[in-house]
Each structure stands twice: as C-alpha cells, then as structure tokens.
A and B are shown apart, each in its own frame.
Chain A
Amino acid sequence: MPERDLDVAEMPSLTPVSTMEPVDLVRADGGVPLTGKKARQGKLGVIGWLSISWLALVTLAAILAPILPIDDPNQVTASIARQPPGTDGHIFGGDGLGRDLFSRIIWGGRSSLLIGTLSVLLGLVLGGLLGLVAGYFRGRADGVLTGGFDVLLSFPQLILALTLVTVFASGEGVTATRRTVVLILALGVVSIPVLGRITRANTLTWTQREFVLAARALGAKQREIMFREVLPNVLPAMFSIALLGVAVVIVAEGGLSLLGVGTQLPRPSWGNIIAEGRSELRDSPHIVIIPTIIIFLTVFALNYLGDVVRARFDVRESAL
C-alpha cells in the first residue's frame, strides 16, 4: 500500500499544517443542514427530548408488538372497514379491509424500523470501512473506491433498489421474510456510497492532523492508526449521517411500497399501509394521513438528533 500522503503540509512556503482549520466536509458535501439554535449548540432542548421520547416510544411499541394488548393486525372486522378513528374503540379506526389501523401501524413500525436500522447498519459498516480506507490511504485505493461510490450514486437510488428487489424477491412463492431480507440488503447497498463518501471526506481531514503523524512517528502500525486514532474522530459524523440515513430508508421503503415492491403484504409496514390506503384517499383519508404523520414525526426526530450529535462533537472540536 502506498505511504500516506502528507504532501501539502510539507511543501515549503505553504501554510503549515497546524494552522489549517479542518474543513467541515460533512456540510460542504451537502450533508446535515442544522435545523435550530439548540441543535446548533449541540444541546438537546425541548425538541430534542421530545424527539428522543418519540423514538423510544415507537421503538418500544415495535419491539413489544407481540405482547401488547392490541388486535391481530391481519384480523378483518367488516364493521370497521374505512371507519374513522374512534369507531368501536379502535383509536385509529379501520383500514380499507377492516383491519385495526392502530395495530397495523405498530406492527408496521416493526418492519419499517427494522429495515431502516439494519440496512443503514450494513451501509455504515461496509461504507464506513471502505470510506476509511479510501480517505486514509488515498492514492490508488481512493481512486478505485471513490469511483465505485460514484458509479453506485449515479444510478437513481430508488430504481437501483427496485431492480434488486424485483430480481431477488418478487413473483410467486416469495415469503414476506425473504422480501424483508432482500429489502434490507438492497437499501443497504444503496446507502453504502452515501456513508462511504461522508466517512472518506472526514477521514481525509482528520488524517491531515499532526497527531496522526505523531502516532506514526511513535511507531504505530497503519491499521492501528486508522482504527484507533482516526476512526474515533470520524464516528460522530458517521453516526449523525446514519441517523439521517435511517429516516431516508424508512421513506424509501414507503416509495418501494407504492411501486409494489415494499414489504410483502399482508405483513404491514408504514409504507405499504399508505400504499394500500391511497385508493381510499377520497372517502377515508385517515388511512393515509395517520401513517404519514407517524413517518413525518419519526423522520423529523431522527434528523433533529442527527444534528444534535454533529453539533455536540463540533463543540468539542472548537474547544481545542
């Protein structure tokens, strides 16, 4: 592997490395836009706490769905079909077929959140690793990996995921579980280049820092420097983008559902509840509006917390 480049820093008559402020490439890259004053200061504030509470609530409900005292999400009760919230004690009412909407949303959260977190985790591990290698070693490794990211990014993301799901999990006899696994992998592949590029950009700036050179001067191995010195500094940015990524993937799964290749019915997800309900939009808008509000709140909470994480670690940086 090529030796790590330090070129600019060593050039005579250029600014010495220590006076160069690291460029905040996350935002230069079109990453996290900061939303509010509190978030900018890295403090949670009221909205932050509300966001955490909301996410905790949704996650807990999704995990505990099988033991919660709610209806079976697939049990059809003809009398509540298309009925508005509150009918017969069904707080969110019934969907087009007469299934309890509250129960479907909780079970749907199970699918949506599972797909969101696992696919971003996949992207985080693979994309993060590749981005770290590209940003740390630069040179040829960087060229190949960045080229790969660019190729992946140049496909329209939804079409790419759609193609993967269509090829590997559609047609007769595909189980809902297989569909979910393929969805996770497809959306994971789509998130690899996004997380990879963010990680690479951050790794580039941190690798320029003198402590990396200092670690080398003390005889540390490249691998040790990469994982022990650079990675912990890059993690906050990766984490904040990952939170954003979960939100994007939840929405993307909804998009795939509208195209008919989301979570396999009758297993619910927030996306396919909306997809199914869109034919009833004129007479029973609540079937679409309620899951949309749920998705909106979840996406907002994830974005907001992503900002807080990012800003929080920026503060530590500026204190230096």
Chain B
Amino acid sequence: MIRSRRRHVVHTAADYHQSGSRLLEVDDLKTHFVTPRGRVRAVDGVSITLDRGRTLGLVGESGCGKSVLSRSIMGLLPSTADRTGSITFAGERLDELGPEALRSYWGTQMSMVFQDPMTSLNPVMKIGRQITESLEVHTDLDRGQARETALALLRSVHIPEPERRLKQYPHELSGGMRQRVVIAVALACGPQLLFADEPTTALDVTVQAQILDLLNEQQRERHMAVVLVSHDLGVVAGRTHDIAVMYAGQIVEQAPTRTLFAEVRMPYTEALLRSVPRLENASHTRLAVIGGRPPDLIDPPKGCRFAARCPYVQDRCREEQPPLIEAETPGHLFRCWYPVGTDAGKEALERNLAAELPQAAAAVTGELAVEAS
C-alpha cells in the first residue's frame, strides 16, 4: 500500500492520465430525484476515474451524495431517479445498457458492501445459502462445489469455524462477523470493482479497523478496485490511493491521498480534517465542528455551495460557482476561489476575521460561537 502510494506521487500528469489499466471512467454524472417538492440534485456533475487494483476514498458528510454516487455508477437506482452522463466500465458504456445486460455485471464485475450488516443479510436464510446464492446465479458450480467455495470465502474473510457458520442464521453472529459475511457474499463471484458503502459505520469502533484491514487485504490479493465511501476522513486516510471529497452533490477536492493531506486547498476539506479528533490533543479539547448544514439540493445556491459555511467566504463565492481546477501537483483538483494555503485564501480569512464573521472566528479558535446560517 505505502509503496504504491509513493510510486503514485512521482507519476507525471501525462502517465497519470494515460494509464492502460483504466477500469472505471465516470464523466459528468448527474443523478436527480424527481420528488413532489422538486428535483433533488443528489449528484450534480461528478467525474471520476479509477484504475484496476486501486482504492478511491469518497468522503463527505451525510446527504452529500456519496451513496447515491456509488449506486448511480452501479445502476442501482429507483425509478424516480434521473441519471445522465457517461459511465465507462472496462471499456463498456454502462449507462447505455438495459437492466438485463446490467444485471450480468452485478456480482461478477462489480459488487457492493452495505453499511449495516444487520439489514443487509436476509434474516431467514442460512449464511451458507446467502453466499452460494450468487454463485449459483452466475456460475455453473454444483452444490458441492458452491459449498466448498463458500467455505473458502469464509476462511478468507477470517471467520472462525466456517463449517459451523454455514448452517447458522445471521442473528447468531456478531456485528463484525456479519459484516465479514457480507464481504464474503460481495466477493463470491470475484468482482473487479467493489463499492464499500460506509462498511464500518454501523460497527463497534474496535471492530472497524479489522473490517477495513480485511477489505484492504482482499483488495490486494484480488487486485480489485475499491471505492470506499465514508464520512470519516480518518477511515480513508491510511487505506486509499486517492480521495475525492464530495459536498452537496459535487466533488470539491480530489487528490492522491498524501497530496490531499499535505496540500489542502478546499476550505471544506480543511474543515473536515479539523473535525477529526486527534490523539495528541489534550483531553477535553473541544471537537471542532462545521457549523450549519449542507444546502438544500432542490435549490442549490448559485455560487459556491459551501459559501454559507465557509470561513474564507467572499462576495464572489456567493455569486459565481468555482470550477474544478488543477493545483500545482498533478492529479490534485479542487473547487475554490480563495484556496487554503494561498495568499488569496489568507487575505480572505483575514478580511472575514476583521469583519467578525462567525465561521471565520470559529475556524481560528476552534470554538463555534454562533451557528452560521
């Protein structure tokens, strides 16, 4: 992991974009939901690429479109969803495929691990059956072979006494064990791309690291591409090659993991980083929070979508939406008029401090005085 990340940093822009092992290419993806209140722009113009065997972290707070993005790519959307843009997977345009053709990709080519192992396993089906189910749909294995494969899968996700587990029901297993089973089910047909949609959010903190390590290990062994969706930058930090930060349906900053942490440009990413609790902080240190809440996705603000909560906000931010531009480091994209770590950003923050803008003061002191509106 670490070595490949280092290698990545020394890539030039040219070979970054000409990689021959491109697995997934999403271009200007928009997923809108038609509701009685209006169109909810859950994903609004997202472009990402992912190479084989690599891990992309998708980060953002609740309701910013992370889950909808991964489900849009897979095509697992309700009928009220309206999806546009192109999705190219292993050279095939997924967005042009009908539901039947798409179904042949699910499980075998791409697969998903869901957030809550309590609800993503069928309570009335034995563990063994849940694993062999997709094997029987997609392969010609007979029952005995399917059972052997299921056993091997349970072993590979480090479940003790796999023979006994096959005959057990989900409620007989702990949360962590259940999530291991969910992972085994998702991996059963050897997908090339795995979406892990907040795979540890519903789990005990002590189990979270184990599950993430397991995902990493499986990703390495199978040379599988992984999209790791999380609201926790700490979760994705050590385990991804690249990180895309989403806010209000858009990608606001995207970079190789190390670059992102070293050269934050987008104030939202900075705010997310600050809100991760740190061990070196004195105990009882107040946790920095981001005041306010994400904008209404039915009627997003015309300027920068983070403007209302941003410590660096200027008049221009409220009027004009910043485009996604490339920073000095190749592959590092961000959306901001007054980026963090630049003179323009520093001046903007000073102006806001002088004007006693509450979120600017909060950003400096770490204390949230007034909720930003």
Contacts and interface: CB of A to CB of B under 8 A. Distances in A.
Interface of A: 2-7, 10-14, 16-18, 139, 209-211, 213-221, 224, 228-229, 232-233, 316-317, 319-320
A224 B125 CA distance: 14
7 pairs of A and B residues whose beta carbons are closest in the complex: A18-B116, A13-B63, A12-B63, A219-B107, A219-B106, A218-B107, A6-B78
A215 B114 contact: no
Given A18-B116, A219-B103, A7 B80 contact: yes
Contacts, number: 135
B122 A218 contact: no
B67 A211 contact: no
B119 A218 contact: no
25 contacts: A2-B79, A3-B77, A3-B78, A3-B79, A5-B78, A5-B80, A7-B35, A7-B78, A10-B67, A10-B78, A11-B40, A12-B62, A12-B64, A18-B116, A210-B120, A211-B122, A213-B120, A214-B186, A216-B76, A219-B106, A219-B134, A317-B123, A319-B171, A320-B118, A320-B170
B294 interface: yes
A310 to B, nearest CB: 15
B202 A18 contact: yes
A6 B189 CA distance: 25
A232 B170 CA distance: 15
Contact of B104 (A5, A214, A219): A219
Given A3-B99, A6-B78, A320-B170, A17 B112 contact: no
Given A10-B68, A13-B293, A215-B122, 6 more contacts: A5-B80, A7-B33, A13-B294, A18-B114, A217-B74, A217-B112
B123 A217 contact: no
A202 B266 CA distance: 46
B251 interface: no
A87 to B, nearest CB: 54
Interface of B: 33, 35, 40, 42, 62-65, 67-68, 71, 74, 76-81, 99, 103-108, 111-112, 114-116, 118-125, 133-134, 137-138, 170-171, 182, 185-186, 188-189, 202, 249, 293-294, 297
Contacts of B105: 219
Given A5-B79, A12-B40, A217-B76, A210 B104 contact: no
Interface centre among A16, A17, A139, A224, by most B CB within 10 Å? Answer: A16
A219 B116 contact: no
Chain B contact residues, majority secondary structure: loop
A6 B81 CA distance: 9
Contacts of B122: 211, 215, 229, 232-233
B138 A214 contact: no
Contact of B137 (A16, A211, A214, A224): A224
Given A211-B122, A224-B137, A13 B62 contact: yes
Interface centre among B35, B124, B293, by most A CB within 10 Å? Answer: B124
Contact of A215 (B40, B108, B133): B133
A233 B124 CA distance: 7
Contacts of A4: 78-79
Given A13-B294, A18-B116, A219-B107, A316 B171 contact: yes
B108 A219 contact: yes
A168 B131 CA distance: 52
Contacts of B249: 12
Contact of B111 (A217, A221, A316): A217
B232 to A, nearest CB: 15
Interface centre among B104, B123, B170, by most A CB within 10 Å? Answer: B123
A217 B71 CA distance: 9
A6 B77 CA distance: 7
B302 to A, nearest CB: 19
B108 A12 contact: no
B78 A320 contact: no
B171 A320 contact: yes
Contact of B119 (A13, A14, A18, A215): A18
B137 A220 contact: yes
Contacts of B119: 17-18, 209-211, 320
Given A10-B68, A320-B171, A232 B125 contact: yes
A218 B120 CA distance: 12
B68 to A, nearest CB: 6
Nearest to A6: B78
Contacts of B80: 5, 7
A218 B185 contact: yes
Given A210-B114, A210-B116, A220 B33 contact: no
B351 to A, nearest CB: 31
Contacts of A213: 76, 114, 120
A320 B249 CA distance: 33
A213 B186 CA distance: 12
B369 to A, nearest CB: 25
B35 A11 contact: yes
A217 B68 contact: no
A11 B33 contact: yes
B86 to A, nearest CB: 20
A12 to B, nearest CB: 4
A211 B120 contact: yes
B113 to A, nearest CB: 9
Contacts of A214: 112, 114, 120-121, 182, 185-186
